[in-house]
């Protein structure tokens, strides 16, 4: 929808049916968030997100319906675009927080698996001593359960989460039941992690804005560790080429010199927003609006940056023909230069 708004009144503008379909899809996706069971705190955040979406839709609707008053239309377009930008930022923060929580749960699950494996190996190691103490007639009854547990351990270690132990009795039956419950729980956790990763990857790759994740560690500071397709299309590189580059390689020289200063501000916890100039692969220089902030994964700090090509916006600023720019939206008059 942000792209629809940006392309409005250009030769690449999308049709009404396409725009309406995008609005319906947005509403449908938000509603699916309430299909799962969440805590009250999470439900409150989702309700706030849905309310923000409704505000965005209303602002978007006004942009599509206003015709006569050009000044009001431009103000409504800015309001809708700003509301959408805030919504995207809020959503990406939720994605980052959710991914962090899922990673914590993954570590916890893997720790539980490791403890269970230790218990199983202890039982397996104790098997020979138990069989030596019992009569020959009981040997077969002991070795078969041990083999089943050992085989199940190998299956789990090999990634077969659908394997289940059956037919064991007494203490071995309890161990088998615990093993089966653990395998079921692990499979469910892995499924949720995979689904979350797919949703995150889909949102990351399909985002209309260019999204970077930058390293902040020592000599690697500014290195691009992740970039979506919008970044590649904006700068004329492939994603693989971008992953071998530093953000300084995309900045023009005067902006590249201030990269350490900007990163220092972000590492202090400050949110950075402003305008820079980037250089495409073919050497073309163009202005971008950058929003960047800090986030951590496994106690390692990264910078999450969103870039937007504002060449068209600047062109429209220059074309404002009213005396003293009084006919232009206030946001066009002020600008947001990067310090």
Tens digit of each residue's pLDDT (9 = 90 or more) over 49-92: 888 888 888 888 887 777 667 777 778 878 888 888 888 888 88
- At 251 the pLDDT is 93
pLDDT of residue 304: 92
pLDDT tens digit string along 91-116? 888 888 888 887 888 888 888 888 88
Q: What is the pLDDT of residues 322-338, one digit of tens each?
A: 555 555 555 544 444 44
Those residues whose C-beta lies under 8 Å from the C-beta of residue 291, and which sit 6 or more positions away, are 85, 89, 271, 272, 273, 305, 306
Which residues are 273's β-sheet partners? 291
Is 274's pLDDT higher than 80? Answer: yes
Report pLDDT for 334. Answer: 46
State residue 332's pLDDT score.
47
Average pLDDT value for residue range 263-273: 90
Q: Output Rg (C-alpha) for the chain, integer angstroms.
A: 28
pLDDT exceeds 70 at position 208 = yes
d(CA 337, CA 262): 13
What percentage of the chain's residues is helix, strand, coil (to nearest 5)? 65, 15, 20
pTM of the predicted model, to two decimals? 0.43
CB contact burial 296-321 (16+ within 10 A = b; e otherwise): eeeeeebbbbbbbbbeebeeebeeee
Convert the pLDDT of each residue in 150-196 to its tens digit: 777 777 777 777 777 777 777 777 777 887 888 788 878 777 877 77
As a whole-number percent, the residues of the chain with pLDDT over 90 amount to 22
Average pLDDT over residues 34-40: 78
pLDDT of residue 317: 79
Domains observed in the chain: 108-197 (no CATH), 209-339 (3.30.450.20)
């Amino acid at each position: 929808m942000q792209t629809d708004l940006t392309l409005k009144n250009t030769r690449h503008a999308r049709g009404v049916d396409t725009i309406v379909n995008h609005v319906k899809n947005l509403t449908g996706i938000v509603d699916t968030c309430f299909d799962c069971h969440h805590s009250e705190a999470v439900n409150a955040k989702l309700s706030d997100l849905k309310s923000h979406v409704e505000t965005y839709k209303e602002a978007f609707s006004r942009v599509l319906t206003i015709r006569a008053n050009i000044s009001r239309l431009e103000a409504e377009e800015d309001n809708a675009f700003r509301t959408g930008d805030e919504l995207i930022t809020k959503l990406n923060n939720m994605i980052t927080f959710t991914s962090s929580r899922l990673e914590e749960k993954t570590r916890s699950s893997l720790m539980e698996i490791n403890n269970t494996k230790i218990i199983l190996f202890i039982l397996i190691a104790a098997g020979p001593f138990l069989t030596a103490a019992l009569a020959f007639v009981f040997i077969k009854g002991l070795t078969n359960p041990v083999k089943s547990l050992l085989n199940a351990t190998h299956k789990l270690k090999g990634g077969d989460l659908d394997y289940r132990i059956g037919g064991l009795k007494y203490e071995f039956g309890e161990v088998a039941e615990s093993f089966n419950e653990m395998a079921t729980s692990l499979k469910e956790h892995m499924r949720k992690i995979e689904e979350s990763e797919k949703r995150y990857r889909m949102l990351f790759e399909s985002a209309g804005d260019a999204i970077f994740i930058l390293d902040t560690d020592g000599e690697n500071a500014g290195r691009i560790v992740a970039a979506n397709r919008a970044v590649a299309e904006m700068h004329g590189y492939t994603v693989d080429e971008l992953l071998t580059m530093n953000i300084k390689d995309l900045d023009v020289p005067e902006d590249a010199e201030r990269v350490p200063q900007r990163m220092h501000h972000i590492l202090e916890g400050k949110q950075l927003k402003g305008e820079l100039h980037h250089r495409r692969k073919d050497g073309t220089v163009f202005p971008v609006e950058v929003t960047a902030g800090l986030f951590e994964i496994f106690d390692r700090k990264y910078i999450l940056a969103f870039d937007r090509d504002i060449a068209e916006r600047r062109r429209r600023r220059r074309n404002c023909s009213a005396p003293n720019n009084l006919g232009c939206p206030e946001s066009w008059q002020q600008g947001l230069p990067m310090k």
